[in-house]
Amino acid sequence: MTLTIANLSAGYGRTTVLHDVTVTDIPSGAFVGLIGPNAAGKSTLFKTIAGLITPNKGTLTIEGEDVTHLGRKDRAKRVAYMPQAYGCNALLSVFESVLLALKQTTGWRVNDDNLDRVSDTLHALGLSHLANRGVADLSGGQAQMVAVAQTIVRAPDVILLDEPTSALDLHHQLSILTSIRNEMDRKKPVVMAALHDLNLAAKFCDRLVLLRDGAILADGKPEHILALPQIEETYRVLTDLERTQRNVLYVDARLA
């Protein structure tokens, strides 16, 4: 399952946000971190891949198949996009909210397989104890975990996570990203996540893509990307890249 983004340009109305974005051959089971400052076009790129924005130019291919103009529903079967978290006041249980995500692309009737998939997903993410809780009663971190469950339950080829760790405490940041890694080991989807925390990105991602002003500045292994002068330029900071005792990359940043 490889994802290729080729010469993609997209935007809202007359404003073009993405300029000629190309990210080639993201292999199945790869965790790609999308980094870059605010308003770099990260969400726009995700929305375009998810089919919520029609690109002006360029192509998207999944496993060699051109999906650039695939309809919403067919697209949703292959690409699952988790937007940045918003609260909701629906009177639905966590179980129901994950079930409804699955049911958007799987027929009308709820069958045993659907119920199995929902309970397995909740179990895999360690959310079983919340299954009967109302979605409106969840804490921010729990709501974000449920949003991840809603994304993963669909077992898509491509998972796009827009700032999955924003507003989470350290435990939940690690727990969300670890759950996603575990899920990747099981089902081998392509995962792209927009991350603001470069250290988290370094720890969890196989590959980093640096986006700025809607264009790609760099694309490669974390240790290469984070050492580039463009990182300092883009974020307007000075950085030192170190390795911790456990051989994890650590970006030490300070104001220029």
Partner 1 sequence: MTLEVDPTAIRHDYVARVSRRYGVIAAVFGLLCLSFLLDITTGPGGYSLSTVSEVLFDPMSHGARLKVIVWDYRLPVAVTAVLVGALLAVAGAQMQTILNNPLAEPFTLGVSAAASFGASLAIVLGFSVIPAVGPLLVTVNAFVFALCTCGFILLATRLKGVGSETMILFGIAIFFTFSALLALMQYMASEDQIARIVFWMMGSLSRASWEKIGLGTILLCFAIPFSLYRTWPMTALRMGEATAQSMGVDVGRLRVEMLICISLLAATAVSFVGTVGFVGLVGPHIARMLVGEDQRYFVPLSALVGALVLSLTSLISKTITPGIIYPIGIITSLIGVPIFISIILSSRRERLQ
- Kindly tell me which of 42 and 212 has the beta carbon lying closer to partner 1: 42
Sheet strands (E) in the chain: 3-12, 15-26, 31-35, 57-62, 65-66, 79-82, 158-162, 190-194, 207-212, 215-220, 237-243, 249-255
Q: Is 178 in the site for partner 1 (CB under 8 A)?
A: no
For residue 81 the two structure tokens come to 């996009």
Q: Which of 34, 72, 61 is nearest to 214 (CA)?
A: 34
Q: Please state, in angstroms and as integers, the Cα–Cα distance from residue 247 to each residue in 57, 209, 239, 250, following that order.
A: 42, 22, 18, 9
Give 251's strand partners. 241
Closest separation between CB of residue 200 and partner 1, Å?
Answer: 19
User: CA–CA separation, 62 vs 192, rounded Å?
Assistant: 14
With CB under 8 A as the contact rule, the residue among 14, 171, 236, 254 that binds partner 1 is 171
| Cβ-based burial of 6 (10 A; exposed 0-12, middle 13-18, buried ≥19) | middle
Of 111, 113, 123, 186, the one binding partner 1 (CB under 8 A) is 123
Q: Which is nearer to partner 1, 83 or 140 (CB)?
A: 83
Site for partner 1 in 84-113 (CB under 8 A): 84, 86-88, 90-93, 95-97, 99-101, 103-105, 108
Task: Write the DSSP symbol of residue 135.
Answer: G
Stretch that binds partner 1, among 57-65, 134-142, 181-189, 228-236 (CB under 8 A): 134-142
152 binds partner 1 (CB under 8 A): no
24-53 mask for partner 1 (x: CB under 8 A)?
A: --------------------------xxx-
Rule CB under 8 A: say whether 122 interacts with partner 1.
Answer: yes
Taking CB under 8 A as the binding criterion, the range among 17-25, 69-77, 189-197, 246-254 that sits at the site for partner 1 is 69-77
Are the beta carbons of 63 and 157 closer than 8 angstroms? yes
- Beginning with the edge strand found earlier in the chain, give each strand of the sheet holding 3-12 in spatial order: 15-26, 3-12, 57-62, 65-66
Q: How many residues bind partner 1 (CB under 8 A)?
A: 49
Among 134, 187, 228, 237, binds partner 1 (CB under 8 A): 134
Residues found near partner 1 in the complex (CB under 8 A) = 50-52, 72-73, 75-77, 80-84, 86-88, 90-93, 95-97, 99-101, 103-105, 108, 115-116, 118-120, 122-123, 126, 128-129, 131-135, 137, 147, 150, 171
